[in-house]
Chain A
Amino acid sequence: MAVIRDIIPAFELYQPTTVDDALKLLDRYRADALVLAGGLDSMDWLKDRLKRPKVVVDLGQIAELRGVRELNGGIEIGAMTPLTEVVRHPIVREKFSLLMEAAELVASPQIRNQGTIGGNVSQDTRCWYYRGGWNCYRAGGNICYADTPTALNREHAIFEADRCVAVNPSDTAPALVALDAVMVIRGPSGERVVNAEDYWIGPGIDITRMNVLAPNELLVRIRIPSTFAGAQFYFEKVRDRQVWDFPLVNVAAAIKPNGANIGEARLVVNAVAAKPKRLKDVEAAVVGKPRNEETAKMAGDMAIVGAVPLRHNGYKVPLMRNLVKRAIRGSEGGTWTS
């Protein structure tokens, strides 16, 4: 791989000021175009010269894609809203603090200033074989280098692998699924709305994509309904380094109590599969039960049924079990006062 990786390859830069203009460009250039949001994902590809688009469509000038506004008791977030703005927004903090916590744990302050919510949820996987330019399934080849007897796959999938074992690295994605968000997508024939849960796709559906966006479509807004506004939330991200690191596993939970018991629950885990994993069985099982250690343990044990670890990621199974347990418990389960 002795390639020169310094100055990014030349491309035509377009900076449309409306979504419609951006879509026209995408429609015109199709596979030759790369969509640029905050650039944290795209610039790596370009600098590594692993993607050589003829055209880059920078969404940075499109005012309508930015900002957070109230909508029917919920909120609507423009896809190009920087993560820092999401974190600081008063309604996000007041009603949907789950998203605030998740967004605040993304990477580093500098990256959150530059990175957008649309980019964070739509980012590509960080599998180090795929990102290293290996011609794997996801890159259009016919092998998964991360799933061989000698591969290093500490950060890879324990669920729903299908040839590819890469995981979705987003922190905000599981929070949005837990909050019952919907993704507003615009294409040449207008807007369509997709449940957050269905926005991401596994390798079994399309091994080269992480989400349902067609090459001529854009994610324009994310809507969070009032369903879980002000509910009890739990978010935790486990990572090697405490800043500027992707999750080993993260968990997002939204729980509505019913008296002393759980009335309704959403439980979502990420970085264990190619898409955020919603734990519907566990959600159903905890309803009507008190939020105690016993329920937490049951939830944790249920969550990992069917997990298939690879050679180096067996730890993700107890890690996911424990995080789900903590989400139901509602705490890390121990503190020292001094």
Chain B
Amino acid sequence: MWKWTEDDFKNAGDGQLPLGKYTDEWAFGDVEAGLKKADLVLDETFMTQSTGHQPLETRTAMAYWQNGKLYLHGSTQSTMQTVASVARWSGVPPAQVVIVSEYTGGGFGSKIPGAISMAIPALLSKKANAPVMMRITREDEHFIGRARPGVLARVKAGFRKDGRITAIDMYAICDNGPYDPQGDARTAGTTISLAYQPEAMRWRGLTVVTNTPPKVSQRAPGGMQGVGIMEPIISKAAKKLGLDQVEVRKINAPAGKAPFGPLNPNGTRNYVTSAFVKEALDKGREAFKWEERKAALASGRTRGTKARGIGVAVSPFSGGSIGFDGLFIIKPDGRLQIQSGIGNLGTHSVFDVHRVVAEMLDVPWEQCDVVFGSTAKNVPNTCVSAGSQTAHAMTRAAHAASTDAIKKLQEIAAKTKGGNPEAYKVAGGKVSGPGGSLTFAQAAQKAIELGGKFDGHEMPEDINAFTKTSVKALAGQGLLAVARDSYPRDGQSQSYVIGYAEVEVDTETGVVKVIDYTAIGDVGKILNPRGLKGQLFGGSMLGLGHAKTQRWAYDQHYGVALARRFYQNKPPTILDAPLNFTGDAVDIPDPETPVGVRGVGEPPVGAAYGAIMNAIADAIGDEIFRKSPVSPDIILDALENSGKRTHDALTAHL
């Protein structure tokens, strides 16, 4: 039990979080020495708000039982991975669970493996021996749809004259909600350690159980909060030291196998697979015309009642996992039937990752049929669609399965036409070599005749049990390609997005308009340019919403939710979108994955959140706000008070 006293708050100073108990701690380097040798030390408190996930599709689910199996139609981020969770929640063996989810209208981390409420129609339909649907209203969604935990943090950061960060000392409190502990405060710390590569850092955290609806990961969980907490401090330091905002981020940027997070027990630190953040900062500086805008603002930030400002922010987040299975069949009609266990969230990853198959086998994409949306369709072991891991993990799996297909095609050709398998090449929808060529249709026919590993009657040992069941069901339909991603990876896959924003603040109304926004990704090789832009834009809008309007409001006495509808909790609308949006990436392949692709879903959120708040501060002052959203009331109140914050910086859910 920990309780701050009135004196603690008084001694901490107005708006500063008193340091207190912590339950979790990590550190590396000598923080005290780092702060001591710094030319500038800033010590600031910032509060990021809790926010409901607010997917457009609520978590309605429908269930029925057929031949002893549970068929569950529901809204989930991940198709294959929802089997285990629904099985666990409903007490039904996984082999008896079929998940059907063809299209999902958003999850943002709140439906990673479906939702626990799915167990209710699952069990009721068994009792009723009839289909049961449980509809979830928008208001229900507020209460059971979960929310991003707000993080309240105090950061002391030391800077050298050239902007290099010598040390960071961070104390963060996670507004956890009632149930299982959320890692947001901790991830906020590791994100900061990666984005700004401090020479020394101490992170201390306290997770506080709060009597609110439950919280859970939300797109860039902890990462977005970390960026929002640290970015205003970086911007303020740059101004105090007379440095360019882009340069100060470049001098601190991660590069190559950059380390991050705590010291491991063996004294080493984890590091990333790659980082091209400096390149992304440069690309963004050019695309956004940073120097021109900076020069234009140098002659004055205000025209009458309109003040403009620019901001930049660096936002890393996890970008890929490993070890999943790829599975497809070359059918006797020559078409490729690709089994996809990925959830269809509208990000297009359910299809895009399989373009690797078409590319490696050199067939037109139009010749591929992607089977998705139901675990009754025999899909392979697939990652959850969360943590921005799918594009990375499943391109690797697709690469592994394609490699298996090529090997099998070569062997079949050698068996049929003679010669060495290695002498045969796969190209143009055929496998050709010294003895002649086979079309894919012929090879598939031959695979069925040969049986064994060629048509899936035998399978590799190392594939997942779930995949094995699917292979068994699919065996005998053609040339079956299946393999586990066992490619090496040195480091942890992290992606990065740099946000550049220009805003216009109306100093008489407090209304903020985002004039221009540029998001540049360091997300590996670009998998699909349109998908990239969609993710950059969508993620940026979520960050924009957190910066400007989106809120979570609870009556302080009764503890009852007040902002339950869209018009009350205020996620951003299309007319709040930047007037101009540019999205692009450095397009440098990640060296630790065969296809070079990393994920892009999450890092745009923190980038927009940080860059827009920095731009607001640039326009009207660094002391206007110490929490988000930076709504018109916060701005007007501060402007009426000579640019100094009047809002309560330490009370959440207002």
Tell me which residues across on chain A come within 8 A of B563, comparing CB atoms. Answer: 128
Q: Is B640 interfacial (CB 8 A cutoff)?
A: yes
A128 to B565, CA, bound (A): 10
Question: In the complex, are the beta carbons of A244 and B566 less than 8 A apart?
Answer: yes
Fill in one digit per residue for B293-330: 1 if any A CB lies within 8 Å of its CB, else 0: 00010000011111010000000000000000000000
Tell me the bound Cα distance from A322 to B506 in angstroms.
Answer: 11
Cα(A312)–Cα(B511), bound, Å: 17
Since A242-B573, A322-B509 are in contact, a sample of 14 more A-B pairs with Cβ atoms closer than 8 Å, ordered by chain A residue number, is: A5-B140, A128-B553, A129-B555, A132-B562, A150-B556, A151-B555, A152-B553, A240-B549, A241-B549, A318-B636, A319-B632, A323-B508, A336-B303, A338-B296
| Residues 117 to 167 of chain A near chain B (Cβ within 8 Å) | 126, 128-129, 132, 145, 148, 150-152, 154
- Report 18 cross-chain contacts, Cβ distance below 8 Å, ordered by A residue: A6-B140, A47-B137, A128-B568, A132-B560, A150-B556, A152-B553, A152-B555, A152-B654, A240-B549, A243-B573, A243-B576, A314-B637, A315-B633, A319-B632, A332-B305, A334-B306, A334-B506, A336-B504
Question: Is B4 in contact with chain A by the CB < 8 A criterion?
Answer: no
* Closest A-B pairs by Cβ, 5 of them: A334-B304, A242-B575, A322-B508, A315-B633, A334-B305
Which A residue's beta carbon lies closest to that of B646?
A: A314
The answer to whether B557 has its CB under 8 Å from any CB of chain A is: yes
Contact assessment for A335 and B553 in the assembled complex, using a CB-CB cutoff below 8 Å: no
Q: How far is the CA of A21 from the CA of B424 in the complex (A)?
A: 86
Query: Are A336 and B308 in touch, CB under 8 angstroms?
Result: yes
Q: Say yes or no: B640 contacts A318, CB within 8 Å.
A: yes
Instruction: Decide yes or no whether B331 CB sits under 8 A from chain A.
Output: no
Query: Which of chain A's residues has its CB closest to B577's CB?
Result: A242
Q: Could you tell me if A334 and B303 are in contact, using CB atoms closer than 8 angstroms? A: yes
Contact A238 B654 (CB under 8 A): no
Partner of B570, one of A126, A240, A315, A338: A240
Q: How extensive is the interface on chain A, given as a class?
A: 35 or more
A218 proximal to B (CB < 8 A):
no
Q: In whole angstroms, how far apart are the Cα atoms of A240 and B510 in the complex?
A: 9
User: Which residues in chain A, 278-324, are within 8 Å of chain B measured between CB atoms?
Assistant: 312-315, 318-319, 322-323
Q: Would you call A246 an interface residue if the criterion is a C-beta within 8 Å of the partner chain's C-beta atoms?
A: yes
User: In this assembly, does A186 line the interface, its C-beta being within 8 Å of a C-beta of chain B?
Assistant: no
In the bound assembly, the distance between CA atoms of A322 and B510 in angstroms comes to 11
> Is B511 touching A132 in the complex (CB atoms < 8 A)?
no
Scan B497-524; emit 1 where CB is below 8 A from any A CB, else 0.
0000000101011110000000000000
- The listed residue (A151, A240, A242, A326) touching B508 by CB distance below 8 A is A326
Tell me, rounded to whole Å, the shortest Cβ–Cβ distance linking A143 to chain B.
11
Q: Is the CB of B508 within 8 A of A325?
A: yes
A319-B636 CB under 8 A given contacts A5-B140, A150-B556: yes
Q: Answer whether A150 and B566 are a contact pair too, CB < 8 Å, given A6-B135, A238-B632, A248-B632.
A: no
User: Which chain A residue lies CB-closest to B635?
Assistant: A315
Q: Does A190 contact B (CB under 8 A)?
A: no
Q: How far, in whole Å, are A332 and B137 apart by their CA atoms in the complex?
A: 40
Residue B403 at the chain A interface, CB threshold 8 Å: no
**A245 part of interface (Cβ distance < 8 Å):** yes
B574 within 8 Å of A by Cβ?
yes
Chain A's nearest CB lies how many Å from the CB of B157?
Answer: 31
Nearest-Cβ distance from residue A248 to partner chain B, whole angstroms: 6
> Which chain B positions have C-beta within 8 A of A148?
557
Q: Could you list which residues of chain A lie within 8 angstroms of chain B, going by C-beta atoms? A: 1, 5-6, 47-48, 108, 126, 128-129, 132, 145, 148, 150-152, 154, 238, 240-246, 248, 312-315, 318-319, 322-323, 325-326, 332-336, 338
B contact residues around A323 at 8 Å (CB)? 508-509
Among the listed A1, A154, A318, A334, which residue makes an inter-chain contact with B560, where contact means beta carbons less than 8 Å apart? A1
Pairwise interchain contact B633-A154, C-beta atoms closer than 8 A? yes
The winner among A6, A132, A241 for most chain B CB atoms within 10 A is A241
Of chain A, the residue at the smallest CB distance from B545 is A241
A50 to B137, CA, bound (A): 15
| Contact flag A333-B508 (CB < 8 Å), given A6-B137, A248-B632 | yes
Q: Once the chains bind, are A334 and B555 in contact (CB under 8 Å)?
A: no
Q: Which of B633-654 contact A (CB under 8 A)?
A: 633-634, 636-637, 639-640, 646, 654
Considering the complex, give the chain A residue whose CB is closest to the CB of B139: A5
CB-based contact B555/A150 at 8 Å: yes
Closest to B573 in A: A243
Expressed in whole angstroms, the minimum distance between the Cβ of B547 and any Cβ of chain A is 12
**Smallest beta-carbon distance B137→chain A, Å:** 5
Could you tell me the distance between the alpha carbons of A334 and B640 in the complex, rounded to whole angstroms? 18
Does A243 contact B549, Cβ atoms closer than 8 Å?
Answer: no
Q: Which residues of chain A come closer than 8 Å to B567, judged between CB atoms? A: 126, 244-246
B477 CB-CB contact with A under 8 Å: no
Neighbouring A residues of B631 by C-beta, 8 Å? 240
Whether A335 lies near B306 (C-beta < 8 A) is yes
Chain A minimum-CB-distance residue to B140? A5
Q: Does B249 sit within 8 A of A, measured CB to CB?
A: no
Q: Is the CB of A312 within 8 A of B633?
A: yes
**Pair B306/A241 contact, Cβ less than 8 Å:** no
A289 to chain B, nearest CB (A): 20
A315 and B137 form a contact (CB under 8 A): no
CB-defined contacts of B570 to chain A, threshold 8 Å: 240-241, 245
CA distance A128 to B633 in the complex (A): 18
Question: Do A335 and B304 touch across chains, with their CB atoms under 8 A apart?
Answer: yes
Instruction: Point out the residues of chain B lying under 8 angstroms from A1, CB to CB.
Output: 560
CA distance A240 to B560 in the complex (A): 22
Establish whether residues B574 and A243, one from each chain, have CB atoms under 8 Å apart when the complex forms: yes
How long is the Cα–Cα vector from A128 to B632 in the complex, in angstroms? 19
Residues of B near A241 (CB, < 8 A) are 549, 570, 572-573, 575-576
B564 at the interface (CB under 8 A from A): yes
Give bound CA distance, A129 to B646, whole Å.
Answer: 25
Find the B residue at minimum CB distance from A151.
Answer: B555
CB distance from B55 to the nearest CB of A (A): 17
CB neighbours of B558 from chain A (8 A): 145
Q: Are B557 and A334 in contact (CB under 8 A)?
A: no
Within 8 A of A (CB), among B81-118: none
Query: From residue A75, how far is it (CB to closest CB) to chain B in Å?
Result: 29
Instruction: Give the nearest-CB partner of B654 in chain A.
Output: A152
Docked pose: A334 CA to B305 CA in angstroms: 5
Q: Which of A47, A152, A154, A246 contacts B556 (CB 8 A)?
A: A152
